[in-house]
Amino acid sequence: MKKVIMVLPLAILHLIGFAQVDVYPSHWWTGMKNSKLQLMIHSPNIGKGSTVTIKHSGVFIEKVNKVESPNYLFVDLNISSAAKPGSFKLQIQNQGKAVTLSYELKQRRLGNGQQFAQGVNSSDFVYLLMPDRFSNGDESNDRITGMKDQTLNRDSMYHRHGGDLQGVINHLDYLQQLGVTTVWMTPVLENDMPNRTEHGYAFTNHYKIEPRFGGETAYKSLSNALHKRGMKLVQDAVYNHVGIHHFTVVDPPMKDWLHQWPRFTRPNYKDQTLFDPYVAEIDRKQQADGWFTREMPDLNQSNPYVANYLIQHAIYSVEEFGVDGWRIDTYIYCDLDFMNRCNKALSDEFPKVTEFGEVWVTGTVNEAYFTRNNLTTSFKSNLKGVTDFQTLFQGILPALKDGNANSLYQTLSNDILYKNPMMNVIFLDNHDMTRFLSQVNEDEEKLKSAIAWLLTCRGIPQLYYGTEILMKGVSNPDGLVRSDFLGGWKEDKKNKFTEAGRTDKENEVHDWTMKLANFRKSSSAIKTGKMTQYVPQDGLYVYFRYDASQTVMCIMNTGKTNRSIDFTRYVERTKGFSKARSVTDSTEINLNDKVNMPSNKMWVLELIR
């Protein structure tokens, strides 16, 4: 079989004078805590014999870096506290020719930590959506001339469907009424790839917002619209890889911009190799440096130029677009020392911003290693939270699918490993896995129990779009987990955003979600309170969320038969209370009585003195 050689030669173009000159970041700000800025300047032969000069008070060139490719210059600037906002000229002399660029320093955005960069925490309810599949608010951007993917076919799960950021803006009323406080979208950066661009994880230019979503203008409009409502925005970040058509892959600045292999090499998908005390170095290297797919080459984050490019882009995104939280894709495949640097750089500029990483592993020890933890290890992560796959796969899913409530109890007992388990993002499903309703054989009562658990357990709840209206689908082979939210396209015959457009069953689950989510908004016990859980008995799992002002009792019957509940077992938490009121239907229960609870149900009860 013919070998595929992955070493990418440097592009050397012999052009006279300067063609288009691109500068990254495209602009910056005064008043940053870190005064250092590294400009990447990209143009054919820009680095041949070049000198760079700047004339702007308080801005100094520390170093001009010429790298392997003549098509790049990296210019290290120091933007002192004396620098004022405004544009200045950056002049490049190259072999007797000159080009003058205008570069702008802006005033920093007001409201750091209050109006943006607020962070996402256990008081929030996050809604994950795919812009291409949620709603088409602007048909003029469905296809963009010159882009590689010109598909527009809603009959295929693997083509573009036309959803965009204006579509999200159009339905913020729906989300806010549902009880959502925070919107997380799959990536919104440019993905100029030939196919499968609906998911967005193969960036081709970090400094362009996907034009088929509406570009920078639409992204800023969405951010502003969310913040005006008191809602938040989470950006989906990818540090591990880019798309094969990213400009730094097509024309790499240097050979080690990417991790190079003699032939295509995937990760070994063994996260243990990153903390195994007996690991073979070749196994650790393959996990950290392997290419995610042939179309997604692996960035070399130990290269200081790559690191600067990625860290500066993260800061740029929060400042430019008013991002509040940062979800980090494929965290376990990244260079972890780099990730600590990047997380710290964000926190230095935006003290309240929070990051949570995708940590798709098996085992709570494995998961805890990648976030702030209580483990005694040489590497200590500063990541504030993770996507908590353990409470899903080892907790709520076996509890409801198989009736094994002990699995949920045991998984949560391992919270001793985390510095702050309340910062972990708990969820039922996402765009990469079979929807929860399909996992539990389309049992709506089990889904309702799962949603009740999601909105009352410790951590930050995240709901995948459409779960609240009984959307189903398996991840393979049909990809129906990424179906459209009906009503988001003008040609849709049904509008699931409205009560009239939903079936009775869909409205039942929607209203169940809405009641619990809006109760959660005003529940100090659930948002920030403590948790006590009791050892399950015959499928009956009981836990409490409480603080000085409120106590909420959660009862889940995962068994196949009805259960009699004797409240005296829970006197540690019920003492001083006489009644309990159902959050979902206002039914009151006398705590001195024994109560019969049907199988396959969950109750959320607020205790009353």
Q: What is the CATH number of the domain that holds 52?
A: 2.60.40.10
Angle between helices 444-454 and 504-521 (to 10 degrees): 10
Structure tokens, 343: 């997380």
The mean per-residue pLDDT over the stretch 279-292 comes to 97
- CATH number where 412 lies: 3.20.20.80
Residues 125, 182 contacting (CB under 8 angstroms): yes
Q: Each residue of 96-154: pLDDT tens digit?
A: 888 999 999 999 999 999 999 999 999 999 999 999 999 999 999 999 999 999 999 99
Q: Is residue 9 in a domain?
A: no
| 117 contact partners, CB below 8 Å, separation of at least 6 | 318, 322, 323, 324, 350, 352, 353
- Co-location of 563 and 576 in the same domain: yes
Beta-carbon count within 10 A of 35 CB: 16
Is the residue at 70 inside a domain?
A: yes
| Helix runs in 480-601, H state only | 504-521, 524-528, 571-574
Give, as one character, the DSSP assignment of residue 7: P
Q: Strand pairing partners for 100?
A: 91
Q: Does residue 477 have a pLDDT over 90?
A: no
End position of a domain, from candidates 45, 76, 106: 106
Query: Alpha-carbon Rg of the chain, whole angstroms?
Result: 26
Confidence class for position 5, pLDDT limits 50, 70, 90 = very low
Q: Do both 490 and 533 map to the same domain?
A: no
From its phi and psi, is residue 493 left (phi > 0), alpha (psi between -120 and 50) or beta? Answer: alpha
The residues annotated with a catalytic role in the active site are: 329, 358
268 & 253 share domain: yes
Over residues 427-465, the pLDDT tens digits come to 999 999 999 999 999 999 999 999 999 999 999 999 999
Q: What percentage of the chain has pLDDT greater than the value 70?
A: 97
Where a domain ends, among 502, 526, 550?
526
Show the 3-state SS of 252-282: CCCHHHECCCCCCCCCCCCHHHHCCCCCCHH
Place of tokens 């779009």: 465
369 and 241 part of one domain: yes
Structural domain including 241 reads 126-526
Judge whether 17 lies within some domain. no
**Residue finishing a domain among 496, 526, 556:** 526
Report how far residue 412's alpha carbon sits from residue 543's, in angstroms, rounded to the nearest whole number: 11
Q: Are 494 and 363 part of one and the same domain?
A: yes
Q: Are residues 390 and 513 in the same domain?
A: yes
Q: What is the pLDDT of residues 516-570, one digit of tens each?
A: 999 999 999 999 999 999 999 999 999 999 999 999 999 999 999 999 999 999 9
469 lies in some domain: yes
Say whether both 516 and 374 belong to one domain. Answer: yes
The secondary structure of residue 16, as a DSSP letter, is S
The answer to whether the CB of 253 falls within 8 A of the CB of 67 is yes
Question: Structural domain tally of the chain?
Answer: 3
Q: Do 45 and 140 fall within a single domain?
A: no
284 & 353 share domain: yes
Q: Are residues 440 and 555 in the same domain?
A: no
DSSP class of residue 392 equals I
Residues 514 and 563 in one domain: no
Q: Is residue 210 part of a domain?
A: yes
Asked if residue 535 and residue 497 are part of one domain, the reply reads: no
User: What's the pLDDT tens digit per position in 14-45?
Assistant: 333 457 999 999 999 999 999 999 999 999 99
Neighbours of 60 (CB within 10 A): 13
The answer to whether position 13 is within a domain reads no
pLDDT recorded at residue 18: 57
Q: CA 188, 193, 198, 199 torsion: positive or negative?
A: negative
